[in-house]
Amino acid sequence: MKKIILPVLLLFSVPLFAQTITHRMSEMEKSQMSEYLRTYPQNQITSGITTPPASPVRASAEWEEIDALIITWTSFTTILKDIVRYAQTETQVYIVCSDSNVVISYLNSNGVPLTNVHYLLVPFNSIWCRDYGPWNIYTNDVDSLALIDWIYNRPRPKDDTMPSGIMRFTGLPMYQTTTAPYNLIHTGGNFMCDGFGTGFSSKLTLDENPTHTEAEIDTIMKKFMGINRYIKMETLPYDDIHHIDMHMKLLDEETILMAEYPQGVADGPQIEANLNYVLANYNSVFGTPYKVIRIPSPPDAGGDYPDNGGDYRTYTNSVFVNKTVILPTYSQQYDTTAIRIYQEALPGYNIVGINCNSIIPSLGAIHCITKEVAAHDPLLISHQALHDTYNTTTPYQVDALIKHRSSIANAFLYYRTDTLVAYSQIAMTSADGIHWTGFIPPQTGGSRVYYYVEATSVSGKTQVRPMPAPAGYWKFDVLINVGLTDSKLGSVSFGSPFPNPAKSFTSVSIISRQSLFASIDLTDVTGRLVRSVFSGFLNSGEQYLPVDVRNLSSGIYFLELKSNGLMQTRKLVVR
């Protein structure tokens, strides 16, 4: 255990409260905000670097390895203690507090181990460290870790200087977007990224920076955080703080966990519109449509949703802590479904829930009160999971981008088709030391293949992806081909739609052994043509075609692939 006392001088003269509980900006704060910004940063003691990094940088994703999790010890201590309980088994925990003895006594009395716990006596105003805490960037993808500090979008000067305390404790360099022309007002709950240059926010970011154009905001984010594609969505009518972590979460580079409501309820219509906007205009970093997993947002204890005065209950407001995911829970009848969705989406992760009924009326939960310090020595592995296939004759190619500052010594691919037997190991090869490839042998139809990637750096660090491997894994099914084979054209395989059921967009995979003409139509249960999805030449190899099902009535539909007089169908359910 460590007790770190980090004095921070505050010169801001407007009288402010010691500990702000509400996540919303109070009426008093609204009246103070313009004066606070007018005198910023003159009235803040800043010790960071206010010019952009000289080298290209990459903002890390939340599912990457972390060295520490930050919390601020103030209100809602019953929730904070359980965060410490689960997080300290995975990483260091930095507790920002005003009296470490009080924290230690409370944790001891509740049976929480003090392993990996550090106490930082740094001034603060509120519990919402997601919003005012530092972000993580790496120079040249994996070389050196640094922190990023924005201007907090609340006139809470102690909160706004907390990142300086983290900087002093960790010894990490910190870049600050606090002075013109790089002054940027932002809040952590309204930002997430994929680790490869794509960022997401609501348009609150534009509203809170009226002195900057959108292009200028994009430039600041690119220079300081390596965000070269900044996706901004409309704010939600019933989310008073307009933070996207209340209704969405990135689970990996291509998977969005998105909240949903019953049709027409609360923020459901705007969430669907935002999702449709993203799917219609952007692909994942892999160049393919985003996968979308839906998770219901439950009503409050009285059965009410936010549009009827109910609490803004959310399951997307969770946090990755290496191999553990901590999510908010509220009521068993809804929690069991949410936990199952997480377990199915993230096999091998330890999924744990903490009751957040006390904090959710303040418009925040687990993600809102935690912040990560990324690993100082990252070994980055990125891989697009293989899709289901009809291929039973040729090996399955597994490609991974793997990086470490000392370079990669070796990489291995592990696979199995039976969870009761050991994984088989296959050496991966690389021509450039960054892009690695391995091949899983072909399997018979009806097989399910589980696999993961492991790499070791020249310096001796070993990492796996998914991080909980071998308990965690990617998987794909080898399907039994029931049609569309012809000796004249080779073979065409038509994959199942994903996601299915679908609400806005889905996609289908097409595998063709050679270039040939084909058409894909969407029909209803009577065989009536609803719309043409594709008509033209299919290139050889595998490709993914998006299918727009917006504005379709709920029900059963069929996708029909036709070529040279042959036809294959796939069932699609529209919700």
Rounded to 5 degrees, what are φ and ψ at 356?
Answer: -120, 25
Strand order in the sheet with 291-296: 248-252, 255-260, 291-296
Higher pLDDT, 374 or 500: 374
Is the separation of the CB atoms in 451 and 396 below 8 Å? no
**pLDDT for 431:** 96
Q: Maximum Cα–Cα distance for the chain, whole Å?
A: 82
Number of helices (H), then strands (E), belonging to the chain: the values are 9, 36
Is the separation of the CB atoms in 29 and 155 below 8 Å? yes
**pLDDT for 467:** 98
Question: What's this model's pTM, rounded to 2 decimal places?
Answer: 0.84
List Cα–Cα distances, 39 to 33, 35, 148, 165, 575, in angstroms: 10, 6, 21, 21, 52
Question: Span 193-220, mean pLDDT?
Answer: 98
Is the separation of the CB atoms in 272 and 237 below 8 Å? no
Q: Whole-number mean pLDDT of the chain?
A: 90
Higher pLDDT, 59 or 501: 59
Q: Using CA atoms, how far apart are residues 201 and 246, in angstroms rounded to an integer?
A: 12
Could you give the residue range(s) of every CATH 2.60.40.10 domain in the chain?
A: 380-477
pLDDT of 461 higher than 80: yes
**pLDDT for 489:** 38
CA atoms within 13 A on the CB side of 444: 1
Which of 118, 78, 73 is CA-nearest to residue 97? 73
* CB atoms inside a 10 Å sphere around CB 548: 16
Contacts of 304 (CB under 8 A, 6+ apart): 310, 311
Is the separation of the CB atoms in 507 and 499 below 8 Å? no
Higher pLDDT, 565 or 326: 326
For residue 20, the cross-strand partners are 126
List Cα–Cα distances, 399 to 305, 428, 437, 452, in angstroms: 44, 9, 5, 11
Could you give the residue range(s) of every CATH 2.60.40.1930 domain in the chain?
A: 485-574
Is the separation of the CB atoms in 126 and 367 below 8 Å? no
Tokens of residue 485, six digits: 């084979």
Question: Span 470-489, mean pLDDT?
Answer: 70
List Cα–Cα distances, 445 to 475, 487, 543, in angstroms: 15, 20, 21
Which of 340, 329, 331, 325 is CA-nearest to residue 294? 340
**pLDDT for 486:** 40
Q: What CA dihedral angle connects 299, 301, 302 and 304, to 10 degrees?
A: -20
Which of 175, 93, 190 is CA-nearest to residue 134? 175
Highest mean pLDDT pick, 51-65, 274-288, 384-398, 549-563: 51-65
Residues 28-46 have pLDDT tens digits of 999 999 999 988 876 565 6
Band the pLDDT of 214: cuts 50, 70, 90: very high
- Helix (H) or strand (E) holding 85, with range, is helix 77-87
Is the separation of the CB atoms in 485 and 445 below 8 Å? no
Task: Report the top-level CATH class of 380-477.
Answer: mainly beta
> Which region among 383-387, 543-547, 563-567 has the lowest average model confidence (pLDDT)?
563-567
pLDDT of 146 higher than 70: yes
Question: Span 261-267, mean pLDDT?
Answer: 93
pLDDT of 484 higher than 60: no
**pLDDT for 42:** 64
Query: Tell me, what DSSP letter sits at residue 368?
Result: G
Question: Span 17-31, mean pLDDT?
Answer: 76
- Helix (H) or strand (E) holding 355, with range, is strand 350-355
- CA 239 from centre of chain: 20
* Helix, strand, coil % over all residues of the chain, rounded to 5: 20, 35, 45
Rounded to 5 degrees, what are φ and ψ at 446?
Answer: 95, -5
**pLDDT for 416:** 98
Q: Using CA atoms, how far apart are residues 539 and 387, in angstroms rounded to an integer?
A: 18
Tokens of residue 311, six digits: 């609490």
Band the pLDDT of 509: cuts 50, 70, 90: confident
**pLDDT for 288:** 85
Helices 100-109/77-87 angle, 10° precision: 80
**pLDDT for 13:** 34
pLDDT of 48 higher than 70: yes
Q: Which CATH superfamily is domain 485-574 in?
A: Macroglobulin (MG2) domain (2.60.40.1930)
Q: Using CA atoms, how far apart are residues 201 and 209, in angstroms rounded to an integer?
A: 13
Could you give the residue range(s) of every CATH 3.75.10.10 domain in the chain?
A: 2-374
Q: Using CA atoms, how far apart are residues 437 and 414, in angstroms rounded to an integer?
A: 12
Q: Using CA atoms, how far apart are residues 193 and 64, in angstroms rounded to an integer?
A: 11
Query: Tell me, what DSSP letter sits at residue 381?
Result: E
Q: Using CA atoms, how far apart are residues 204 and 236, in angstroms rounded to an integer?
A: 10
List Cα–Cα distances, 72 to 60, 84, 135, 166, 302, in angstroms: 22, 11, 16, 12, 31
- From first CA to last CA, the distance across the chain in angstroms is 52
Q: What CA dihedral angle connects 160, 161, 167 and 173, to 10 degrees?
A: 70
Highest mean pLDDT pick, 13-22, 250-259, 290-299, 508-517: 250-259
Residues 311-359 have pLDDT tens digits of 999 999 999 999 999 999 999 999 999 999 999 999 999 999 999 999 9
Percent residues over pLDDT 90 in the chain: 73
Band the pLDDT of 508: cuts 50, 70, 90: confident
Residues 511-559 have pLDDT tens digits of 777 667 788 889 887 778 888 888 777 766 777 788 888 888 888 899 9
CATH number assigned to the domain covering 2-374:
3.75.10.10
pLDDT of 213 higher than 70: yes
> Which residue is associated with the tokens 């990459």?
58
